[in-house]
Structure 1
Amino acid sequence: MALYHPRVFDLHEQRLLDPAPTPHPLHGHPARGHGYIYPRLTGTWNAAQQLGYLEYHPKLTYEARDGTSRRAPHPLVGDLLLFIERPGVPDYCINWNIKSQRANFKHRPTPYTSSSPYSGITKTAARNCIEAANYASADIPTKEIAGTDIPPVLTANLTDGFVAACEISLPSEIQEKVIRRLRAAIGTMQTPLDIWSEFSLTLGLTHYQFRTAMYTGVWRRQLRLELTERILFDRPMIAERTDILDIYASWFRGPDA
């Protein structure tokens, strides 16, 4: 979903969250962020201290030079950090905190929490608050997103599109010809399979080449089909009713939106 958005120009997965103050993720970005002073992140340790959650901040035990055992803050790890282009004004970042189910934002099931569920709920909620507060200090909003928020059909269509777009593409003129022909068939009883039969005869395209071109067009938003309905090669194509980026617009909304 993040990569599908045309204004997302960078994406960091499993980004370390430094306990100490650090520059904004866009500070010094090789392609973006020039000419604008972004606020710094306060650091997760300071965020935890302000929230009263220091006891829940991860810590590392180590042996000092004098032989004593000491503890130091250990970095947290985020899920996804999106870098989003905003024409005419400074670009911005959004932090996605992801869980498989929405209930897991309060309770992360582990072998250690089953016997003491209250402790598990508190630690998970506190960790989420620390992460969000650290990013908020630099005007980076946090969105809590669960896997169950995206219907399986939409997941399948986006996956097919992403996989196709990663394949070796056809020459641009042939790709454009395929997309134009498919567009003309949207809303009719013609299926992609019918259209492939034409291209297999005229251009010698294999089933795999044509299918890849089709799903690449869907991923690049050149072929606007209804993504909440399963896109199938042997079924008529359904025109896009609602852009999914409008449905999930709040997930990409910047700090001053």
Structure 2
Amino acid sequence: MAQFKITEARLRTIKQRQWKDRWGSDYVAGIWADPKEAPGISTGSILRPAKVGLREFHTLSSAETFASLLVLMHPNCWEVQEQRIMYPLPRPHLLFGHPRASGLPLKQFAGSIEIADRLGLKHPKVRIRLGPKPQDWPIAPFPYFSDLLAYMEDAQGPYVVNISVKSKLSDFRRKGPKTSRSRANEDDPGTVARQQLEENYYASAGIRTQPIGRDQMPDDLCWNLRDLFLDDTYPLEATDAQRREVIEIWRDAIGRDLPAYVFARKIASKCGVPEREATAILRQSIWRRDLRVDLFRPILMTDPLRPEVDDVFVRFAAWFSR
């Protein structure tokens, strides 16, 4: 659950970005991955995913980045929103007003103030400078943030999963960087309470929260997701007919005991498509699930393409369930 400095100026920025519901390329993250806003110890990234219209997509840690890539690749995911506020006051469901959700019975959110009261927690607040006397300045609630919202669709229709991300699954019960006094195996009451607030807030609208630790995602899977994503928007000069022919050659290559670069050279010779573009078509086709290879082992041009053994979205199906 990201959180940045509590000031009136920050609150005004958040309201400008987040108070109006936006979708796709129009959505604006509540916290940006830049030195002025991201937490000081973060390793944030700014992505530009095709799935959300190539807008800036802000992740505040490497763990968030890899979790975001997994969400973005999911074939049943049609929208992802990052760094979204938990609204202090009651509001309609996040899907309210979206054409995909027309006619669905949607629950309303309880505000985060109400959730905090239920849990006996103190909600962040900030004074608004109105008038000459500081003692008369009104107090406004300052919002909490969640990490990722995955907008999914199944046979029953659209739904939302709130995805909360940490470096380790155990961090959902531990305080951030350890101090010399901290005990590694002790739950931190404040950390646990904040996670409970987030889960209860989304549950009030019928939205499940899924905690994900980066340590649950194998390293090879993460590096593969990164490499595939980086080529997802690589510009292609190949015609549609050439692209289809290239994909079929790559399909035939899967499971063959020859390094992938051999087939890239074959594509260049047979189809007139440069090797670099042939590689991009391969990675785009894997990212878009047109070609299925083993994502849990390194995908390298110097190695053979191994067929899929374990579907990543079957292994992690529970993460994306209602």
Q: Settle same-fold status: TM greater than 0.5.
A: yes
- What amino acid does structure 2 have at the position aligned with 1:73? P
1:58 aligns with 2:127: no
Deviates more, 1:157-166 or 1:73-82: 157-166
SS, match of residue 107 in structure 1: coil
Structure 1 unaligned runs (5+)? none
Q: Is the 8 A contact 2:246 2:271 kept in 1?
A: no
Q: CA RMSD in A?
A: 2.1
Cα distance in 1 for residues equivalent to 2:92 and 2:239: 42
Match of 2:219 in 1: 152
Q: Does 1:104 align with 2:154?
A: no
Larger radius of gyration: 1
Give distance in 1, aligned partners of 2:259 and 2:187.
Answer: 51
**Paired residues for 1:1-257 under 5 Å:** 1-29=70-98, 31-53=99-121, 55=122, 57-63=123-129, 65=131, 67-68=134-135, 71-87=139-155, 89-109=156-176, 114=179, 117=182, 121-169=188-236, 170-254=238-322
Deviating more after overlay: 164-173 vs 193-202: 164-173
Structure 1 residue 97, shift from structure 2 partner? 0.7
Deviation readout 1:173-222 (Å, 9 max, x if unpaired) = 22221121111122221222111111212233222101101111110111
Structure 2-normalised TM-score? 0.72
Supply the AA of the counterpart residue of 1:103.
S
SS of residue paired to 2:78: strand
Q: TM-score scaled to structure 1, two decimals?
A: 0.89
CA contact (8 A) 2:83 2:148 kept: yes
Aligned to 2:162, the other structure's residue is in SS state strand
The one-letter code of the counterpart of 1:173 is A
Percentage of pairs with the same residue: 29
Cα shift at 1:114: 3.8
Partner SS state of residue 179, structure 1: helix
Cα displacement string for residues 203-250 of structure 1 (whole angstroms, at most 9, x for unaligned residues): 332221011011111101111101001011121111100101011011
Per-residue CA deviations over 1:68-103 (Å, capped at 9, x if unaligned) read: 16543210011000110123x231000001111223
The separation in 1 between residues aligned to 2:188 and 2:140, in whole angstroms, is 24
Please tell me whether the aligned partners of residues 249 and 267 of structure 2 are also in contact (alpha carbons under 8 angstroms).
no
| Worse overlay, 65-74 or 13-22 | 65-74
Task: Identify unmatched segments of 5+ residues in structure 2.
Answer: 1-69
Instruction: Output the CA distance in 1 between the equivalents of 2:216 and 2:315.
Output: 11
Residue-pair matches, total: 248
Aligned amino acid, residue 271 of structure 2: L
Instruction: Classify the secondary structure of the residue corresponding to 1:32.
Output: helix
Supply the distance in 2 between the matched residues of 1:167 and 1:11 (Cα, whole angstroms): 21
Q: Which residue of 1 aligns with 2:28?
A: none
Report the CA distance between 1:116 and its aligned residue.
7.3
2: CA distance, partners of 1:107 / 1:206: 50
Aligned residue type for 2:151: F
* Contact kept in structure 2, 1:109 and 1:120, CA below 8 Å: no
One-letter amino acid of the structure 2 residue matched with residue 16 of structure 1:
I
Considering Cα pairs closer than 8 Å and 6+ residues apart, tell me whether 1 or 2 has the greater RCO.
Answer: 1
